[in-house]
């Protein structure tokens, strides 16, 4: 299946991207063409450029011959030991090629068969002494172009660019989409033909879609069971149940018909300012000042002192320092006068700020409960 994915990208995505990139960087002046290197993908795209739907069908038929007959016949020669899938491959490949070159395609299967019937392929002749690579992904050796051939090739590319009007890209790269029927038809046909060459059982469209798209099937029964088990725990929270023994962690294995439910471990705790806190604990304050607006930093510091007896020496919102007790008195006065809402984007809904703080005698690394301020 991965081989078919690579085949798809190598035929309908990468060459088109190479052509567009090359034409976009091609100098307009012929004097600058000397020494220009034309990538093999660009050369092949120009040589195989179709002019109409019939050319697309003939190309797809010839490519099928190369991939699933000639290469296998050559392999059998070097290392001795009307089919629906064949037509599906040819049709899908022809449609994709037409899309890549911006040509109108034909959905008439009878017309496609007619083109195939009149397509003449050269007979296969095995090449003696040739080594057939068996490792996928080996790079092809490209033949060097003579200066005259290079000039002719670049001129053809320039003419192609002029035909497009200059503003449009030459080709449309096709990126594989697991939900596109045409893409899936090509992947399914290509992988099944490859499997047929090696006597591997074929796969249906659904299996091909799952593998090629790397889809993890969602089982409705599992989803429903997990949702129900989660809701049971939510009900306990709504009822404000404080007994940890009432709660359960659930592990469900439908394939083995097993359900394990165990009591969860207590939340990790830490001590701060002589009191034990857990990761669920926090300090919450309605940050509304005496004037009905958002609290000032001075009012928040006073609240922490009155409610908890904490003398805050540093107060931060993210990376913004709201208050620093080590500053001079003038700077401290300016910091204490600012409101907690300063610098915060306005919203119609109440906003919550999470602030960090350091109290006198604390170290920066000390864990402390988060401070949540609800703004008006």
Please, are residues 313 and 326 in contact by the beta-carbon 8 Å criterion?
A: yes
The pLDDT score that the predictor gives to residue 225 is: 87
Q: Which residue has the tokens 């790397």?
A: 214
Q: String of b and e for 280-289 (b: at least 16 CB within 10 Å)?
A: eeebebebee
Lowest mean pLDDT among 139-143, 239-243, 289-293: 139-143
Q: What is the DSSP letter of 341?
A: T
Asked whether the domain spanning 279-374 has the same topology as the one spanning 2-212, the reply is: no
If you average pLDDT over residues 210-218, what whole number do you get? 58
If you average pLDDT over residues 316-321, what whole number do you get? 83
Lowest mean pLDDT among 155-164, 188-197, 203-212, 332-341: 155-164
- For the cut 80, the answer to whether the pLDDT of residue 244 exceeds it is yes
Pairing of strands 371-374, 283-286: parallel
The pLDDT score that the predictor gives to residue 138 is: 39
- Tokens linked to 350: 């109440």
Better-scored residue on pLDDT, 274 or 96: 96
- For the cut 90, the answer to whether the pLDDT of residue 124 exceeds it is no
The per-residue pLDDT for range 54-85, each reduced to its tens digit, is 888 888 888 888 877 777 676 555 544 346 77
Averaging pLDDT over each range in 11-15, 73-77, 335-339, 346-350, which range is the top one? Answer: 335-339
Q: What are phi and psi of 258, to 5 degrees?
A: -125, 140
Q: Which residue has the tokens 């052509």?
A: 19
Report the C-alpha gap between 210 and 215 in whole angstroms: 5
What are the residue ranges of helices labelled H in the chain? 2-12, 14-25, 40-47, 53-65, 71-78, 84-100, 109-117, 147-163, 181-197, 205-212, 220-238, 297-308, 329-337
Please, are residues 39 and 140 in contact by the beta-carbon 8 Å criterion?
A: no
Lowest mean pLDDT among 68-82, 234-248, 287-301, 326-340: 68-82
The pLDDT score that the predictor gives to residue 147 is: 60
The pLDDT score that the predictor gives to residue 139 is: 43
The pLDDT score that the predictor gives to residue 137 is: 40
Give the CA distances from residue 24 to residues 18, 19, 349, in Å, rounded to whole numbers and listed in that order. 10, 8, 50
The pLDDT score that the predictor gives to residue 231 is: 94
Element housing 363 (H / E)? none
The per-residue pLDDT for range 153-193, each reduced to its tens digit, is 777 777 777 776 655 677 788 888 878 888 888 888 888 88
97 alpha-carbon distance from chain centroid: 25
pTM across the whole model? 0.41
Q: String of b and e for 211-225 (b: at least 16 CB within 10 Å)?
A: bbbeeeeeeeeeeee
Question: Which CATH number describes the domain made up of 279-374?
Answer: 3.10.290.60
Homologous superfamily of 2-212: Ubiquitin-activating enzyme E1, SCCH domain (1.10.10.2660)
- For the cut 80, the answer to whether the pLDDT of residue 261 exceeds it is yes
Q: What is the DSSP letter of 323?
A: E
Domain ranges within the chain, ordered by starting residue: 2-212, 220-262, 279-374
Confidence category of residue 230, pLDDT binned at 50, 70, 90? very high
Better-scored residue on pLDDT, 333 or 24: 333
Please, are residues 196 and 4 in contact by the beta-carbon 8 Å criterion?
A: no
Burial of 294 (0-12, 13-18, 19+ CB in 10 A): buried
- For the cut 60, the answer to whether the pLDDT of residue 214 exceeds it is no
- For the cut 80, the answer to whether the pLDDT of residue 197 exceeds it is no
If you average pLDDT over residues 193-198, what whole number do you get? 78
State what percent of residues in the chain have pLDDT above 90: 5
If you average pLDDT over residues 33-44, what whole number do you get? 66
Report the C-alpha gap between 86 and 224 in whole angstroms: 42
- For the cut 50, the answer to whether the pLDDT of residue 136 exceeds it is no
Q: What is the DSSP letter of 218?
A: P
The pLDDT score that the predictor gives to residue 233 is: 93
- Tokens linked to 4: 């078919």
- Tokens linked to 230: 């989660």
Report the C-alpha gap between 131 and 133 in whole angstroms: 6
If you average pLDDT over residues 246-256, what whole number do you get? 85
The pLDDT score that the predictor gives to residue 219 is: 59
Pairing of strands 249-253, 258-262: antiparallel
If you average pLDDT over residues 240-252, what whole number do you get? 90
Report the C-alpha gap between 103 and 26 in whole angstroms: 24
Report the C-alpha gap between 279 and 285 in whole angstroms: 18
Partners of 253 in the beta sheet?
258
Average pLDDT, the chain: 78
Please, are residues 155 and 148 in contact by the beta-carbon 8 Å criterion?
A: no
Report the C-alpha gap between 50 and 56 in whole angstroms: 6
- For the cut 50, the answer to whether the pLDDT of residue 87 exceeds it is yes
- For the cut 50, the answer to whether the pLDDT of residue 258 exceeds it is yes
- Tokens linked to 205: 């469209």
Report the C-alpha gap between 84 and 227 in whole angstroms: 44
- For the cut 70, the answer to whether the pLDDT of residue 31 exceeds it is no
If you average pLDDT over residues 3-8, what whole number do you get? 77
Confidence category of residue 365, pLDDT binned at 50, 70, 90? low
């Amino acid at each position: 299946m991965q081989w078919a994915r690579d085949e798809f990208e190598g035929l309908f995505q990468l060459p088109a991207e190479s052509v567009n990139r090359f034409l976009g960087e091609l100098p307009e002046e012929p004097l600058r063409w000397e020494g220009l290197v034309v990538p093999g993908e660009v050369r092949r795209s120009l040589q195989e450029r179709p002019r109409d739907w019939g050319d697309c069908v003939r190309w797809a038929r010839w490519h099928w011959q190369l991939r699933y007959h000639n290469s296998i016949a050559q392999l059998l020669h070097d290392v001795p030991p009307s089919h629906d899938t064949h037509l599906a491959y040819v049709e899908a490949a022809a449609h994709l090629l037409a899309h890549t070159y911006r040509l109108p395609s034909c959905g008439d299967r009878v017309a496609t068969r007619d083109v195939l019937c009149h397509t003449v392929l050269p007979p296969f002749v095995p090449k003696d002494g040739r080594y057939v690579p068996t490792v996928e992904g080996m790079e092809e050796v490209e033949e060097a172009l003579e200066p005259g051939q290079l000039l002719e090739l670049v001129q053809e590319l320039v003419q192609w660019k002029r035909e497009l009007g200059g503003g449009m890209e030459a080709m449309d790269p096709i990126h594989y989409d697991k939900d596109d029927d045409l893409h899936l038809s090509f992947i399914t046909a290509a992988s099944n033909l490859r499997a047929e060459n090696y006597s591997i059982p074929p796969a249906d469209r659904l299996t091909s879609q799952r593998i090629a798209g790397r889809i993890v099937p969602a089982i409705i029964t599992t989803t429903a069971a997990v949702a129900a088990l989660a809701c049971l725990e939510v009900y306990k929270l709504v009822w404000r149940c404080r007994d940890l023994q009432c709660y359960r962690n659930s592990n469900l294995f439908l394939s083995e018909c097993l359900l394990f439910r165990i009591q969860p471990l207590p939340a990790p705790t830490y001590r701060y300012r002589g009191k034990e806190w857990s990761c669920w604990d926090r300090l919450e304050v309605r940050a509304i000042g005496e004037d009905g607006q958002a609290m000032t930093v001075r009012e928040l510091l006073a609240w922490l002192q009155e409610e908890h007896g904490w003398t805050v020496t540093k107060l931060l919102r993210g990376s913004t320092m709201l208050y620093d007790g080590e500053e001079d008195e003038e700077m401290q006065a300016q910091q204490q006068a600012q409101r907690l809402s300063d610098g915060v984007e306005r919203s119609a809904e109440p906003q919550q700020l999470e602030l960090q703080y350091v109290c006198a005698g604390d170290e920066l690394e000390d864990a402390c409960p988060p401070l949540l301020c609800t703004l008006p």
